[in-house]
Structures are given as C-alpha cells and as structure tokens.
C-alpha cells in the first residue's frame, strides 16, 4: 500500500478548484465512517470511546489516504439516543436501536427538546469536542464536517420505522408533530456543530425513494429539510445532503432544500445527477460501496472510479469523487487505496473540465 502523494493540501486543492484554477487532482472524499478505524488496526467501537480516538482516526485517514475532508459521525441515531432511545453498542459495527423512546405517537409532546443540546447530551459533547480538536490541529490543511441525520431518519430514531410509515396514513397530524420535533432538534444540533467551525452533512436514508414516494417526500420531508440549510449557513458553513438508495425521482426536489452540495447513491446515474443538479451545486458520488468497494478487486475499484470521473468531471459546479454511501466496515483496505490512486492517476484538472 502506497502512502498518499499529493502536491497540494486539501484546503489548497478545494480553494483553487472552486475558483476555477488548475489543481493536482480532483477532490476525493470516499465515505469511511465505518471502515476508518481499521486504517489504524482498530475496530469500529474504538472511535466511540472518546473525542481523542475520533481525532486519531481522522488524522490517520488524512495521512494515509489524503482525503479532502474529515468527518465526525454524530450518526443516524444521535437525536433518538439523546431523547432516551436505547442503543446497543457493537465493537465491530455501528450501534443499532434496541428500544425506541416513543412507544405511542400520542406521547410526542412529552419529548424534551433540550435533551439534544451539548450541555445535556454526552454524545454530542464528545463529537463537538472532536470537531474542535480537528479544527485546531488540522484546520490549516483540511476541513472537517459533522455527519448528521435528516428529519425523517431522526423521527425514526425516536419511533419505529414500520409504525412511523403506517402513521403517515392513519395519524398524519401526529407524524407532523414528530417531524416538527425532530427538525427543531436537528436545527439545535446543527447549530452546536456549526459553532465549532465545521460543515454539516445531512443524511436521511428513511427518506429514500426505496421507502417513500415522491409525494411523501415533498409533503413530509422537504418542507422540514428546507429549514436546516439557513440555520446552518448563517454560521458561515456549508450543508451537504445525501439520501441513500434510489432518489432519481426526487433529485430536483432535493435541491430545493437549499443544500450546498448534493451526494447521490449508486442507484442514481452520475450523468443524470449532472444533468439535473450539476448546473446548481457540486455533485458528490457514487462508487458502489458494496459490490465494488467491499466485494470488488482493486482493479474493479479503479475502473469504476475512472468511469465516474469520465461521466462527471465536467459537471459545471464541480465534482467530488466519492462513494455512493458509507464503505462497509469489512471492505478491503487496499480497495480504499485503489480508489484514491485512481483519482490521482487522472491527474491535474480544473472545475468543469473533462480530458
């Protein structure tokens, strides 16, 4: 495995790229929230133990891979956990829910909005501290973002997904009450992170087109998501937006969120994403995290990265090479090196340029 060989720091590269100047390579941000600790020979649970461990993982990732962004994972269940949802920690993979705090949707008014604040929640305190440490220690060379959930997935961390989806038909008023709470909680959490000087990346997998319809997205998700961007951007930081799975029918609607960057999963062809969104925001994506990054060979990784670059390098507002979602914890480390090697092999480029 080869250590990274770049001519520019991440900050230099991103700054020059979005100013239209030539850079040594395209920006690249494979999603390594789950697999990151393995770069240090640690298991997933290592990073949840302390802010210092979170920082060690991210610094190792930058040193070994040369990522164009560090990431602190507040996670999909952060809101629910703060409210009282019980999680089972797993040393080898992300925590999962064992008991939701809300048993009856009629009790939604009993949720305490103050529970998510940094002064009250040990998990966000740990994550914010990690962000502050990275900004201080690495901020001159690479930026940091906090990975948060979106309104629908936050609601699902409080109340079980099957019951939530059923309630959209039978108890829509109560679903809106829960979404109102989850959105207000996300705004509060986003502002805590934004004050640390990091960008915010919103991921809302329960809003996927594989789970809900375009109509439901526009009625239940988009109006609340639109509230996040101004709350984040007023602090001078950016908001990225990702929904897992098939978002072909809602790609344009996702742009109405006011996001600064749009990330698409493998089910969305990059050519389509470029056509629909490339004229408005940078596109992020979308090497297959399962079939290619986990199950493929290094050569197959290189091939898909190269195809994606060919499809999207000329996107008018920029292209950041990434995976379609988080790389699984068991993915071969050599495949992540192959990903970055393929980006470097493409060589110098400019915003909106295709060789």
pLDDT the model gives residue 208? 97
- Other beta carbons within 10 angstroms of residue 298's beta carbon come to 16
pLDDT the model gives residue 3? 54
Longest dimension (CA), the chain: 58
pLDDT the model gives residue 150? 98
Query: Where does the pLDDT of residue 1 fall: very low under 50, low under 70, confident under 90, or very high at 90 and above?
Result: very low
Distance CA 282, CA 263 (A): 9
Beta strands in the chain (DSSP E): 70-73, 86-90, 93-99, 144-149, 199-203, 239-242, 261-263, 283-287, 319-323
Nearest partner of 243 among 4, 39, 127, 76, judged by Cα: 76
Distance CA 73, CA 238 (A): 16
119-178 residue pLDDT tens: 999 999 999 999 999 999 999 999 999 999 999 999 999 999 999 999 999 999 999 999
pLDDT the model gives residue 92? 72
- Arithmetic mean of pLDDT, 346-352: 94
How many angstroms from the chain centroid is the CA of residue 129? 19
- Residue 246 scores a pLDDT above 80: yes
Nearest partner of 292 among 319, 265, 315, 320, judged by Cα: 265
Identify any residues that bridge with 149 across adjacent strands, giving them in sequence order. 203
pLDDT the model gives residue 354? 86
Identify any residues that bridge with 146 across adjacent strands, giving them in sequence order. 72, 200
Least confident of 81-90, 199-208, 297-306: 81-90
* Bridge-based pairing state of the strands 93-99 and 239-242: unpaired
Least confident of 46-60, 80-94, 126-140, 334-348: 80-94
The answer to whether 339 and 1 are in contact (CB under 8 A) is no
pLDDT the model gives residue 227? 98
Is the link from the previous residue into 327 a cis peptide, with omega within 30 of 0? no
Distance CA 202, CA 210 (A): 18
% of the chain with per-residue pLDDT over 90? 95
192-202 residue pLDDT tens: 999 999 999 99
Domain ranges of the chain: 10-346
The answer to whether 71 and 322 are in contact (CB under 8 A) is no
The CATH number of domain 10-346, selected from 3.30.750.24, 3.20.20.210, 3.40.50.300, 3.30.70.270: 3.20.20.210
pLDDT the model gives residue 101? 98
Which pTM does this prediction carry?
A: 0.95
16-75 residue pLDDT tens: 999 999 999 999 999 999 999 999 999 989 999 999 999 999 999 999 999 999 999 999
- Residue 94 scores a pLDDT above 80: no
- Arithmetic mean of pLDDT, 79-101: 90
% of the chain with per-residue pLDDT over 70? 99
- Residue 302 scores a pLDDT above 90: yes
- Arithmetic mean of pLDDT, 237-266: 97
3-32 residue pLDDT tens: 567 999 999 999 999 999 999 999 999 999
Distance CA 204, CA 152 (A): 6
């Amino acid at each position: 495995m080869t250590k990274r060989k770049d001519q520019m720091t991440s900050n230099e590269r991103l700054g020059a790229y979005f100013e239209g100047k030539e850079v040594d390579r395209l920006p690249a941000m494979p999603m390594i929230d789950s697999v990151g600790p393995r770069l240090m020979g640690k298991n997933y649970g290592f990073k949840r133990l302390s802010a210092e461990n979170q920082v060690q993982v991210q610094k190792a990732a930058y040193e070994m891979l040369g990522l164009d962004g560090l990431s602190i994972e507040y996670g999909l269940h952060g809101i629910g956990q703060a409210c009282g949802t019980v999680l089972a920690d797993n040393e080898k993979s992300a925590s999962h829910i064992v008991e939701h705090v809300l048993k009856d949707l009629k009790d939604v008014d009993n949720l305490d909005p103050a529970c998510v604040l940094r002064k009250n929640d040990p998990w966000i305190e740990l994550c914010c501290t990690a962000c502050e440490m990275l900004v201080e220690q690495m901020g001159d060379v690479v930026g940091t973002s906090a990975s948060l959930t979106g309104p629908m997935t936050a609601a699902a961390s409080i109340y079980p997904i099957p019951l939530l989806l059923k309630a959209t038909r039978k108890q829509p008023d109560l679903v809106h009450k829960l979404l109102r709470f989850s959105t207000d909680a996300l705004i509060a959490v986003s502002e805590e992170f934004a004050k640390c000087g990091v960008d915010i990346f919103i991921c809302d997998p329960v809003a996927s087109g594989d789970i809900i319809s375009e109509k439901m997205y526009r009625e239940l998700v988009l109006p609340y998501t639109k509230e996040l961007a101004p709350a984040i951007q007023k602090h001078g930081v950016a908001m990225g937006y990702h929904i897992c799975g098939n978002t072909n029918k809602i790609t344009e609607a996702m742009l109405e969120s006011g996001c600064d960057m749009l990330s698409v999963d493998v089910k969305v062809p990059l050519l389509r994403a470029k056509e629909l969104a490339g004229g408005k925001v940078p596109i992020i994506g979308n090497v297959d995290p399962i079939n290619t990054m986990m199950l493929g060979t290094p050569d197959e990784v290189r091939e898909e990265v190269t195809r994606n670059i060919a499809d999207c390098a000329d996107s008018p507002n920029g292209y950041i090479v990434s995976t379609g979602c988080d790389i699984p914890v068991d993915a071969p480390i050599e495949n992540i090196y192959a990903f970055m090697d393929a980006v470097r092999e493409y060589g110098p480029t400019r915003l909106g340029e295709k060789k």
